[in-house]
Amino acid sequence: MSYQDTIIGVLLDVSGSMRCNIKGRPEGDKGWIGAVFKCLDNLLDNDIKGNHKIFALCVGGAETGVFDLLKTLENGRQQGEQGFESINLSHEEVISWACVLLETNGATELRTWAPIWKLKREVSREDARAVLRLLTNLLENGDDSTMRKIVFDILPRACRVHVPIVADIARFKNNLLQMDGSLQADNEDIERVIRQIKDLVVSKIILDESITAYSISRASSILRMSTDNKKELTQQDIEEILSKVEPYIYGGTPLNEALTKCHRFFSSSQFRGHRKMLFVLSDGAPTDTATQAPIKEMHDSEITIVSCYITQDNLRNPRRLYATEQPEWKRQDEPFSTSGGLLGLFGNVLNQLLQSNGASFMFNLSSSVETQSIPRTIFVKKGWTVDVENNHVKLFAQVNHPDLVNEVTELAKNILFCQDALSDVLTTIDLDLYINQKLKGFQVSRQVGGVCFAHATATVMHLATHRIVDRYQGRVPADFNVFNRGCAYPDFHKLKEKMIDQFGRTPEGNLHDDGAYTDEVLKKTCPKLRLQVREVDLQGALAAVTAKRPVVTDFALNAQQWDQFFRFYRTQPTGILPKELIQNAHQPKAELEGHAVVLIGFNGKSLQFMNSWGTDWGDSGFFRVSNDGGVLPLPYVRFYDVYWTLNDLYQCEKEAYRIKGRALAESHINRLKSLQVATHMCRLCHKSSKVIDFKGNMKEVTCPKCYRKFPMKNAGPDILLAVYLALLQVKESK
């Protein structure tokens, strides 16, 4: 198991209380029902790499209460496909065989009602095989009642009655039409019959109440009804899914039962050590109040729960994450009519008995997380606000429009698969310090080895010291004087130059061509700054980034691989380096050249690094490499986590954090929250615009009013932060 391994659960409410939401909107099935299935589809992002698993439960089955959606759909597909892959039958032969089976069981005039040529034109190959499979299964199992249902209830009477050749045929035809169908099938007749028979295919599926976890790619192909990797569900896909599950839904809302099943499944030994997330989409409180959901146990098991509450209320601000329960949620919902008369009185009594409170239940179900766990990109998504209470926020959102469900699922994905380690320091530290090496004779185009070790290690150590509130300036070792007088934080350039002098020069004072060993530099330098270092695997590196700690990274390539590396980022500076490009240039006995960089972020598709070759290289000094299930395109890669513990702090620093830590955290969150309203006046056109409307990169930005560019160093910290987060957001969506 690696940090990449994640198990995601999805609970989709398809209960009776959702029926009015699904059917009663002007969008019809494109509204809430589309949102329910697109919610799952959005989580099934094929571009997300790694050994992730997902399961999806429908809550609200009419008979079973809770059933596995993906397993049901997979069974439906196999029902129509199993057993015919090895039989070489043409489309026409499959239809003819199905007709023979129906004719021998009573539909003697089937081919008179619908000739083979017409059936071949109107019935798809997949549907024909599904019908034939059902019919053969019915015969093999001796299921006469279902066969009779098809012949006598689904097929029109014209398929069973021979038309006499008499002079009064017109009167016979009229009588027959008045009964149940025409003598000759039209396209709609055939479509109706096939649809009803396919519903029977679904009805023969045994709904397995156990849970099955699928890989992302497998679940995606099951949901999208194909294996052609379509980017999103089409309306036809949604209608097909609905046709399969609709006979079983619109029941109660046994959320407690579903949550109990999920907790038991998450707790199984196969997922020990996995990251766990549960996404719940519902419009109400549980109806199975006799069962107690293990909500506390799920929170204690570190299952991250994201709740999306569907409501028809007119919300003032639906794009909001809450920190505390709102007073209006205490009012009881009204799932039953309270109109006048006896029915209204009965509804009022039921309301008082049930005490439904969907928003409150879903809020308390959701996880409370530290604000550092919230992807910073949400602060530049227009319209979203984030409440903060004691540096925590609930992963709970209310939505009153289907489109908003997609935004909440994006948030859920990003919590797992997208984090960065720099956004919290951008307003206080100039990244130009770290990206642009200021060393005489430095050549960006081919410099590897050399002094990169000092740049990467100094960057991470410098940032680590800045995470200490009011770092104490005393007791500095005499042999490592890298501090400005009266300043508690090390000077970056002096820190870097000291390491170059100590580790990167020959006895004659010249720079080593091969630089120095990164691990040796860190082990000898970190203790002098009251820091610790440990080599970690990819799991530990991504965990450190999630905790806002950049990670020193070194790797080694041969000459041909370096050529591919430089060529790729010269032609695709914002691209993601694929593993095949480097692997194909592997030479077992070739000499290697090492390089050190800083890991500063990741998402489901790539890792993001900060280089030290200037803002003209790569994506303004940054670059990305693919992350395919923990397999990186960088060979011989090693990660070093630089950190400190409470034991490394002086008592005055602990006291400073106690006094100032909360205020500093809230100040930073408030700065992030203010990005949506903050403005900046362009020095070129002297017009003000919102900072989130400025576009660009870490080198330069473009004014949204005059469309002229100016250097980022003249933009101010708010634009710097907004542009950085916007760049992360773009990379997530690609």
pLDDT tens across 468-519, in order? 888 876 554 444 444 333 347 888 888 988 988 888 887 777 777 677 889 9
Closest-CA residue to 388 (of 633, 167, 110, 668) = 668
Picking from 19-23, 302-306, 471-475, which range would have the lowest pLDDT averaged per residue?
19-23
218 and 103 in one domain? no
CA distances from 258 to 261, 263, 286, 528, 725 (A): 5, 9, 10, 54, 37
- Report the b/e string of 584-609 with b at 16+ CB within 10 A: ebeeeeeebbbbbbbbbbbbbbbbbb
Q: What pLDDT, on a 0 to 100 scale, did the predictor assign at position 7? A: 92
| CATH code of 591's domain | 3.90.70
Over residues 723-728, mean pLDDT? 76
Residue 429 lies in a domain: no
96 and 29 in one domain? no
Higher pLDDT, 215 or 380: 215
Q: Please tell me the distance from the alpha carbon of residue 681 to that of residue 679, in angstroms, as a whole number.
A: 7
284 and 147 in one domain? no
Residue 106 lies in a domain: yes
For the residues of 547-616, what is the DSSP string, one character each? TT--EEEEEEEEHHHHHHHHHHHHH-TTSEE-HHHHHTT--TT--EEEEEEEEEEE-SSEEEEE-SB-TT
Q: Please tell me the distance from the alpha carbon of residue 320 to that of residue 325, in angstroms, as a whole number.
A: 13
Specify whether the CB–CB gap between 658 and 652 falls below 8 A.
no
- Which of 602, 627, 643 finishes a domain? 643
pLDDT at 700 over 60: yes
Q: What pLDDT, on a 0 to 100 scale, did the predictor assign at position 171? A: 47
Specify whether the CB–CB gap between 197 and 154 falls below 8 A.
yes
Q: Please tell me the distance from the alpha carbon of residue 116 to that of residue 110, in angstroms, as a whole number.
A: 9
691 and 630 in one domain? no
Picking from 74-83, 332-341, 600-609, which range would have the lowest pLDDT averaged per residue?
332-341
Q: Please tell me the distance from the alpha carbon of residue 718 to that of residue 601, in angstroms, as a whole number.
A: 20
Q: What pLDDT, on a 0 to 100 scale, did the predictor assign at position 442? A: 35
- Report the b/e string of 691-712 with b at 16+ CB within 10 A: bbbbbbbbbbbbbebeeeebeb
597 and 503 in one domain? yes
pLDDT at 247 over 50: yes
Q: What pLDDT, on a 0 to 100 scale, did the predictor assign at position 1? A: 41
Give φ, ψ of 311 to 5 degrees.
-140, 155
Specify whether the CB–CB gap between 520 and 503 falls below 8 A.
yes
CA distances from 676 to 143, 372, 489, 656, 717 (A): 64, 19, 32, 31, 14
Residue 112 lies in a domain: yes
Question: How many domains, the chain?
Answer: 4
Q: What pLDDT, on a 0 to 100 scale, did the predictor assign at position 48? A: 63
What would you measure as the largest C-alpha separation in the chain, in angstroms? 119
pLDDT at 329 over 80: yes
711 and 598 in one domain? no
- The string of pLDDT tens digits covering residues 675-690 is 878 899 998 999 999 9
Strand, helix or coil for residue 7: strand
Q: What pLDDT, on a 0 to 100 scale, did the predictor assign at position 352? A: 39
Contacts of 514 (CB under 8 A, 6+ apart): 449, 450, 593, 594
- Which of 370, 395, 419 finishes a domain? 419
500 and 574 in one domain? yes
Closest-CA residue to 66 (of 247, 201, 303, 259) = 259
Give φ, ψ of 557 to 5 degrees.
-130, 155
Q: Please tell me the distance from the alpha carbon of residue 432 to that of residue 698, in angstroms, as a whole number.
A: 9
- Which of 361, 392, 419 finishes a domain? 419
Most confident of 57-61, 97-101, 628-632: 97-101
Residue 660 lies in a domain: no
Residue 77, Cβ neighbours under 10 Å: how many?
Answer: 17
Q: What pLDDT, on a 0 to 100 scale, did the predictor assign at position 205? A: 58
476 and 607 in one domain? yes
Residue 576 lies in a domain: yes
Q: Please tell me the distance from the alpha carbon of residue 198 to that of residue 243, in angstroms, as a whole number.
A: 8
Pairing of strands 679-681, 638-643: unpaired
Picking from 115-129, 383-397, 599-613, 695-709, which range would have the lowest pLDDT averaged per residue?
383-397
Contacts of 707 (CB under 8 A, 6+ apart): none
Residue 1 lies in a domain: no
Picking from 204-208, 229-233, 378-382, 401-405, which range would have the lowest pLDDT averaged per residue?
204-208
Sign of CA dihedral 733, 434, 567, 577: negative
Q: What pLDDT, on a 0 to 100 scale, did the predictor assign at position 493? A: 87
Q: What pLDDT, on a 0 to 100 scale, did the predictor assign at position 78? A: 61
- The string of pLDDT tens digits covering residues 604-641 is 788 999 998 888 889 888 999 988 766 788 889 999 99
- Angle at Cα 385 formed by Cα 381 and Cα 391, nearest 5°? 115
452 and 484 in one domain? yes
Strand, helix or coil for residue 84: coil
- Angle at Cα 410 formed by Cα 624 and Cα 679, nearest 5°? 80
Residue 339 lies in a domain: no
Q: What pLDDT, on a 0 to 100 scale, did the predictor assign at position 559? A: 92
Q: What pLDDT, on a 0 to 100 scale, did the predictor assign at position 480? A: 44
308 and 236 in one domain? yes
Q: Please tell me the distance from the alpha carbon of residue 471 to that of residue 486, in angstroms, as a whole number.
A: 11
Q: What pLDDT, on a 0 to 100 scale, did the predictor assign at position 83? A: 46
557 and 627 in one domain? yes
pTM of the complete model beyond 0.85:
no
> What domain range is 485 assigned to?
435-643
Q: How much of the chain exceeds pLDDT 90, in percent? A: 27
Q: Please tell me the distance from the alpha carbon of residue 83 to that of residue 385, in angstroms, as a whole number.
A: 54
296 and 442 in one domain? no
Picking from 7-21, 37-51, 447-461, 643-657, which range would have the lowest pLDDT averaged per residue?
37-51
- The string of pLDDT tens digits covering residues 167-192 is 444 444 444 444 444 568 888 889 89
Mean pLDDT, the chain, rounded, equals 79
Closest-CA residue to 154 (of 115, 112, 190) = 190
Measured in whole angstroms, the distance separating CA 587 from the mean position of its chain's CA atoms is: 37
Residue 338 lies in a domain: no
Q: Which two tokens stand for residue 628?
A: 């395919």
Specify whether the CB–CB gap between 500 and 511 falls below 8 A.
yes
Q: Report H helices in 317-473.
A: 341-354, 358-365, 402-417, 432-435, 452-466
Q: What pLDDT, on a 0 to 100 scale, did the predictor assign at position 429? A: 64
Over residues 517-530, mean pLDDT? 92
